[in-house]
């Protein structure tokens, strides 16, 4: 059996606004559009992924928050309605997805072997979080690949951002080992924003783009610093600066997704492809992809 490999790593923010703006048939809410910079970026990245041969998407989400270890989806199918608890007016999405349980269990076993506290989630009534649904829908609207969702163990809050770097990196290494042993070709997804301070009021028409801007300039400057380092292939430096970035911008990197993904990819020193940056209700969001293939890696934006 050939060695498995990570064929791409995507930083894929999950504001439900983006699905709402797309008006897919699965979502009950209707919009007049909005947030095109991100949506068009997502569409371009989705087209790239269509041209990559892969078996499964493994996604790390901060909206499945676990305090007792890291949990993995452990049933082959989930079908239900995902209603965003914060933006239920925008996101009521009927999903029907498949899970690569074999890969999920392999990653759980590898993590457990490394001393990481883990748990398989095998309750059929479990509702898959909206971060998973949003990022996966935007990257693969056809839902024709199985996924594995990994929960966010809340190390930043329980300990510190530095502990999160250590723990999520270790989890990334374990997942990479399991992927290699599986023989599968896998797309990794870190589902989150960068700076993450929200406005606490919403425009009467949520997609009114005349109202959309970053929460404050400090958040913007920090986001740009991180994106610049991504462009320069300085992923190790991104992680080194992450504790400060997380604290200064209340960043959603606190969930550990990007650390996990870059750790699994061995902290790549090649440039990230940047597909778009835009604010959503004040938060900073970048769509980025790390393509380890020198021949297909692009300079997108």
Residue in 83, 170, 224, 301 binding another protein, rule: CB under 8 A: 83
**What three-state secondary structure class fits 106?**
helix
Closest to another protein by CB, 50 or 122: 122
**What three-state secondary structure class fits 146?**
coil
Say if strands 77-83 and 147-153 run parallel, antiparallel, or are unpaired.
unpaired
Q: Strands of the chain (E only): list them.
A: 5-11, 56-66, 70-73, 77-83, 92-98, 118-121, 147-153, 185-190, 273-280, 283-290
Residue in 44, 98, 119, 236 binding another protein, rule: CB under 8 A: 119
Q: Is 247 in the site for another protein (CB under 8 A)?
A: no
- Taking alpha carbons only, the member of 106, 100, 260, 111 closest to residue 181 is 106
Residue in 86, 221, 232, 269 binding another protein, rule: CB under 8 A: 86
Give yes or no for a contact between 148 and 59, defined as CB atoms under 8 angstroms apart. yes
Q: Is 68 in the site for another protein (CB under 8 A)?
A: yes
Q: What minimum distance in Å lies between the beta carbon of 238 and another protein?
A: 24
Spatial separation of the C-alpha atoms in residues 43 and 214, rounded to whole Å:
22
Residue in 121, 165, 175, 287 binding another protein, rule: CB under 8 A: 121
Closest to another protein by CB, 154 or 297: 154
Q: Where are the alpha helices (DSSP H) in 114-151?
A: 130-139
Q: Is 122 in the site for another protein (CB under 8 A)?
A: yes
Q: Is 30 in the site for another protein (CB under 8 A)?
A: no
Part of the chain binding another protein (CB under 8 A), chosen from 9-17, 58-66, 256-264, 269-277: 58-66
Q: Is 67 in the site for another protein (CB under 8 A)?
A: yes
Phi, psi for residue 79 in degrees, rounded to 5: -140, 120
**Interacting residues with another protein (CB under 8 A):** 64-69, 71, 81, 83, 85-89, 92, 117, 119, 121-123, 125-127, 151, 153-154, 157-158, 198, 200-202, 281
């Amino acid at each position: 059996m050939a060695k498995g490999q990570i064929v791409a790593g995507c930083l894929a923010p999950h504001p439900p606004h983006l699905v709402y703006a797309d008006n897919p048939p699965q979502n009950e809410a209707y919009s007049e559009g909005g947030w095109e910079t991100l949506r068009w970026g997502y569409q371009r990245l989705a087209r790239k992924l269509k041209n990559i041969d892969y078996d499964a998407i493994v996604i790390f989400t901060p909206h499945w928050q676990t305090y007792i270890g890291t949990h993995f989806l452990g049933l082959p199918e989930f079908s239900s309605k995902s209603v965003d608890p914060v933006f239920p007016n925008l996101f009521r999405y009927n999903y029907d997805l498949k899970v690569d349980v074999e890969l999920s269990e392999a990653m759980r076993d590898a993590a457990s072997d490394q001393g990481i506290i883990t748990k398989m989630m095998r309750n059929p009534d479990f509702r898959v979080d909206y971060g998973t649904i949003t990022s996966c829908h935007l990257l693969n609207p056809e839902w024709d690949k199985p996924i594995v969702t990994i929960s966010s163990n809340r190390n930043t809050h329980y300990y510190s951002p530095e502990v999160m770097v250590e723990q999520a990196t270790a989890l990334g290494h374990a997942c990479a080992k399991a992927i290699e042993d599986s023989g599968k070709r896998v797309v990794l997804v870190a589902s989150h924003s960068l700076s993450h301070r929200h406005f606490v009021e919403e425009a009467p028409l949520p997609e009114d783009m005349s109202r959309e801007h970053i929460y404050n300039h400090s958040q913007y400057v920090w986001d740009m610093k991180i994106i610049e380092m991504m462009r320069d292939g300085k992923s190790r430096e991104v992680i080194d600066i992450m504790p400060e970035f997380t604290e200064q911008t209340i960043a959603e990197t606190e969930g550990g997704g990007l650390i996990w993904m870059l750790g699994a990819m061995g902290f790549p020193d090649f440039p990230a492809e940047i597909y778009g940056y835009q604010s959503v209700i004040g938060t900073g969001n970048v769509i980025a992809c790390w393509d380890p293939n020198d021949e297909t890696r692009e300079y997108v934006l």
